[in-house]
Amino acid sequence: MTGSTRPPGNHRRLWRHRLRRDRALLLMTVPGLLLLILFQYLPLLGNVIAFQDYVPFLGFRNAEFVGLANFRALFADPAFWNAVANTLIITLLNLLLFFPVPIALALLLDSLFHERIKKFVQGVMFLPHFISWVVIVALFTQVLGGAGVINQFLLRHDMEPVHIIGNASVFKLLLVAEVIWKDAGWACIIFLAALSAIDSQLYESSAVDGAGYWRRMFHITLPGIRPVIIILILLRLGDALSIGFEQVLLQRDSVGPDAAEVLDTYVYYFGVQGGNWSIAAAAGLFKAVVGLILVLSANKVAHMLGEDGVYRRP
Amino acid sequence: MRYAANRPVWMEKPSPLLTVVKAATLATIVALVLFPFLVVVSTSLSTEYAIAQAGGVVVIPTEISFAAYEQVLFGGVVARALLVSIGVTGIGVVLSVSATVLAAYGLSRPDSFAHRPLLFTALFTLLFAPGIIPLYLTVKQLGLLDSYWSLILPTAMNAFNFVIVRTFFSRLPQELFDAARVDGASELRILLRIVLPISKAVVSVIALFYGVAYWNAFFNAMLFITDESKWPLQVILRLYGLQGQQLEVDPNQIPPPQQATQMAIVVLAIIPILIVFPFVQRHFTKGVVIGAVKG
């Protein structure tokens, strides 16, 4: 807007003029950007220890550089590959079991016309998103645990108790169930937005033409929210190596690392707890780089499919 | 019926069967969400006898007692941790909301100086996380280990919340500011006097997001704080609620049942969220979050 009306005069004067004009705005950005630089960008330098033989006592200025030795040690560690496998399995289970739930919930909410009921159900569904993982693990133990409500009920009615909490073979499904309880309601907010953006005239004219509920669902509703569905699937794939860290950390010890170790907990236990700082930093760097590549390629795929993707095409 | 009026005229009347199925589904969802809360509150309010009668977990309280709350609230580790959590959350929210609103306003005008590189600096952080070990080393180098600031500063600025506010600001009509600018009002004055009063919805939403994040955070405290007297409530809850450690009790009194005290700590960890949530909930769908997500 202002770019075209500005006189084409001296470039440097223009630069100085804009700097003086906008100095108040620039000052306002300082605290926020400083926080991001200190705690998001500065830590990137700390990744240098992935290429060193780091000992906390000596600090990284005095540490010896060892090239890629830490990565070689990491890739030779079966516990690392176990963590990678667990991470990918949980991501896949999440995509299959969690992902459809918010879409279904959004369709259900969208079909309600009683405002009061709709508001109430929505509020109840959003609430668990704001509950901490520590509390959620406590809630699940109270209901599903060995001495929980369900097992009490089963015992009282002379039925076999179910072994859910602390059972390695169902641990990953338990994680997904917890994520559904916590976040499925909240996740439907974005589908609700997409649904409300569909032109209601489309529905009206197709209904007048005799299209029934299911026909409208498959020809208007689902195509209407398709871009959002694709973006969210891609986002999740791009984030495939990140599993809710606090959630797993809190429950890992109940079933042991074979079933429960994911990449982030591997970094924490092997690095921070075990003192293998350099190798664990290598694992963290591996995760960050692969994650970035995944996000960028997921976005590329979105563009190829003709969608906007996470960020717009340049 | 009243709600029938909201149904568009072209839509066929729902069949009674469908209505029943829908109502049952909604009731099930609401019950699945609220039931665990009921169990926790009921157990926290029960006596030893009632808990033993019920078999360890109480769904409907029979004998009510506030002994568990008296024990955890008056003195001791839980009360201390509660204060730490309240302090960290309070100071954190003020700091986070100020930094976010200032940065969002400062970067809300696309023609301002260095707008693109600065915006990129903020948005790029959405694509990567610094990682546990580098973050730990940074906090250590800054001398923040075992300081309350380590629970605030690393998460004080969140690019996602920044995007929400910035999108809202950049959609405000420019005419609002032009007159003030012609009158020579400073940018800070425009932000405080004109922009903020019409942005209460978006500010309260991100204040809730930040507040919940500070209140619920547990891992950063585990990583950065070794001094037990500085632990926030979530860490204490994990210790006594999940890992089954026993709280110290007054030897002159009969202690309340352990299940009740554990659940009382859980209730304390939930209550602030239950209090604030309904006030902010109506803003979620008012285009605040949704507008930002779509924009």
Query: Mean pLDDT throughout A243-270?
Result: 92
User: From CA A8, how far away is CA A14, in angstroms rounded?
Assistant: 9
Residue type present at position B28? T
Question: Which residues of chain B are within 8 Å of residue A180 when distances are taken between CB atoms?
Answer: none
Q: Is the pLDDT of residue A309 over 80?
A: no
Cβ separation of A134 and B241 shorter than 8 Å?
A: yes
CB proximity B294 to A under 8 Å: yes
* CA-closest candidate to residue A238, choices A296, A283, A307, A313: A296
- Give per-residue burial for B148-169: e unless 16+ CB within 10 Å, then b: bbbbbbbbbbbbebbbbbbbbb
Mean pLDDT, to the nearest integer, of A153-173? 90
* pLDDT score recorded for residue A1: 40
Per-residue confidence at A198, pLDDT binned at 50, 70, 90? confident
Q: Is A295 in Cβ contact with B127 (below 8 Å)?
A: yes
Q: How confident is the model at residue B1 (pLDDT cuts 50, 70, 90)?
A: very low
Q: How confident is the model at residue B295 (pLDDT cuts 50, 70, 90)?
A: very low
Residue to test with chain A: of B11, B88, B125, B133, most A Cβ within 10 A: B133
Any bridge partners for residue A53, and if so which? A64
Task: In whole angstroms, give the CA distance from residue B119 to residue B169.
Answer: 14
pLDDT tens-digit profile of A35-93?
999 999 999 988 889 998 888 877 777 788 898 999 999 999 999 999 999 999 999 99
Give domain A68-200+226-304's CATH superfamily.
MetI-like (1.10.3720.10)
Note which residues in 243-282 of chain B have CB less than 8 A from chain A: 262-263, 266, 269-270, 273-274, 277-278, 281-282
For helices A23-36 and B76-106, the axis angle rounded to 10 degrees is 140
- Identity of the residue in A29, A133, A271 whose CB atom sits nearest the CB atom of B107: A29
Query: B108-132 in b/e burial notation, b at 16+ Cβ within 10 A?
Result: bbeebbebeebbebbbebbbbbbbb
pLDDT band at A10 (very low <50, low <70, confident <90, very high): low
More confident residue, A236 or B222: B222
**Residue A275 burial class via C-beta count within 10 angstroms: exposed 0-12, middle 13-18, buried 19 and up:** exposed
Q: What is the pLDDT of residue B117?
A: 94
Where in chain A are the domains? 2-52, 68-200+226-304
Task: Collect all residues of chain A within an 8 Å Cβ-Cβ radius of residue B212.
Answer: 130
The answer to whether B182 contacts chain A (CB < 8 Å) is no
In this structure, the number of other CB atoms found within 10 A of the CB of residue B17 comes to 8
Lowest mean pLDDT among A159-163, A287-291, A308-312, B13-17: A308-312
pLDDT mean over B212-225: 95
| In chain B, domain spans | 75-245
B277/A31 CB distance under 8 A: no
The structure tokens 């990284």 sit at: A60
Residues 6+ apart with CB under 8 A from B63: B46, B47, B49, B50
Q: How confident is the model at residue A206 (pLDDT cuts 50, 70, 90)?
A: confident
Q: Is B214 on the interface with A (CB under 8 A)?
A: no
Q: Which of A21, A39, A127 sits opposite B33 (nearest CB)?
A: A127
Q: Looking at residue B266, what is its pLDDT?
A: 94
Q: Per-residue pLDDT for A183 more than 70?
A: yes
Query: B252 vs chain A: nearest CA distance in angstroms?
Result: 30
Q: Give tens-digit pLDDT for B84-117.
A: 999 999 999 999 999 999 999 999 988 888 999 9
Chain B residues with CB under 8 Å of A138 CB are: 40, 237, 241-242, 262-263, 266
Residue among A40, A125, A142 whose CB faces B125 most closely = A40
Q: Is the dihedral of CA A239, A240, A243, A244 positive or negative?
A: positive
Instruction: Please give the pLDDT value at position A12.
Output: 66
Asked whether the beta carbons of residue B131 and residue A22 sit closer than 8 angstroms, the reply is no
Distance between CA A74 and CA A82 in Å, rounded?
12
Q: Which residue of A has its CA nearest to B212?
A: A130
A-contacting residues in B 1-40 (Cβ below 8 Å) = 2-4, 6-8, 10-12, 22, 25-26, 29-30, 32-37, 39-40
Neighbouring CB atoms inside 10 A of B70's CB total 13
Task: Out of A86-95, A274-283, B254-263, pick the least confident.
Answer: B254-263
Q: Across residues A162-169, what is the average pLDDT? A: 90
Q: Does residue B92 sit at the A interface (CB-CB below 8 Å)?
A: no
pLDDT category at B4 given cuts 50, 70, 90 is low
User: For all residues of chain B together, what is the average pLDDT?
Assistant: 88
| Residue B46 bridge partners (DSSP) | B64
Mutation test of the interface with chain B: which of A4, A54, A137, A142, choosing the one with the most B Cβ atoms within 10 A?
A: A142
- How confident is the model at residue B38, as a pLDDT? 94
pLDDT-derived band at B170 (thresholds 50, 70, 90) equals confident
Give per-residue pLDDT as tens, B241-250: 888 787 777 7
Contact at CB, B157 and A39, closer than 8 angstroms: yes
Q: Is the pLDDT of residue B192 over 60?
A: yes
Q: What is the mean pLDDT of chain A?
A: 87
Of A18, A43, A113, the CB nearest to B3: A113
CATH pick for B75-245 out of 1.10.3720.10, 3.10.20.30, 1.20.1050.10, 3.40.605.10: 1.10.3720.10
CB A281 within 8 A of CB A168: no
Q: Which amino acid type is present at position A98?
A: F
Among B25, B157, B191, whose Cβ lies nearest the Cβ of A36? B157
| Bridge partners (DSSP) listed for residue A64 | A53
- Average pLDDT (B237-256) is 80
Q: What's the rounded Cα separation, in Å, for the pair B45 and B41? A: 6
Q: Average pLDDT in the A263-274 region?
A: 93
Produce one character per residue of A72-82: b if its CB has 16 or more CB atoms within 10 Å, e if not.
eebeebeebeb
Answer yes or no: do B157 and A26 touch at CB < 8 A. no
| Interface test mutation site (partner A, options B7, B11, B33, max chain A beta carbons within 10 A) | B33
Kindly tell me if the per-residue pLDDT of B287 is higher than 70.
no
Q: Taking a contact as any Cβ pair under 8 Å apart, which residues of chain B between 161 and 180 contact chain A?
A: 162
Q: B112–A193: do the CB atoms touch at under 8 Å?
A: no
Instruction: Average the pLDDT over each of A90-94, A309-313, B24-28 and give the range with the smallest value.
Output: A309-313
Residues B115-151: tens digit of each pLDDT: 999 999 999 888 878 889 999 999 999 999 999 999 9
Q: Is B143 on the interface with A (CB under 8 A)?
A: no
Residue A312: band (very low, low, confident or very high) from pLDDT cuts 50, 70, 90: very low
Query: Which runs of consecutive H residues, i.e. helices, occur in chain A?
Result: 2-5, 11-21, 23-36, 42-46, 69-75, 78-93, 100-110, 115-126, 133-144, 149-156, 171-196, 200-208, 213-216, 222-238, 245-255, 257-260, 263-266, 277-304
Among residues of chain B, what percentage have pLDDT more than 70? Answer: 94
Confidence (pLDDT) at B241: 83
Contact predicate B115/B270, CB 8 Å: no
Per-residue buried b or exposed e for A91-116, using 16+ beta carbons within 10 Å of the residue's own CB: beebbeebbebbbebbbbbbebbeee
> Which of A198-202, A213-217, A249-253, B109-113 has the highest mean predicted lDDT (pLDDT)?
A249-253
Task: Identify the H or E element spanning A64.
Answer: strand A64-65
Coil vs helix vs strand at B64: strand
Nearest residue of chain B to residue A135 (CA atoms): B266
The DSSP symbol for B45 reads T
Name every chain A residue with its beta carbon within 8 A of the beta carbon of B118: 26, 29, 33
> How is residue B214 written in tokens?
């500070």
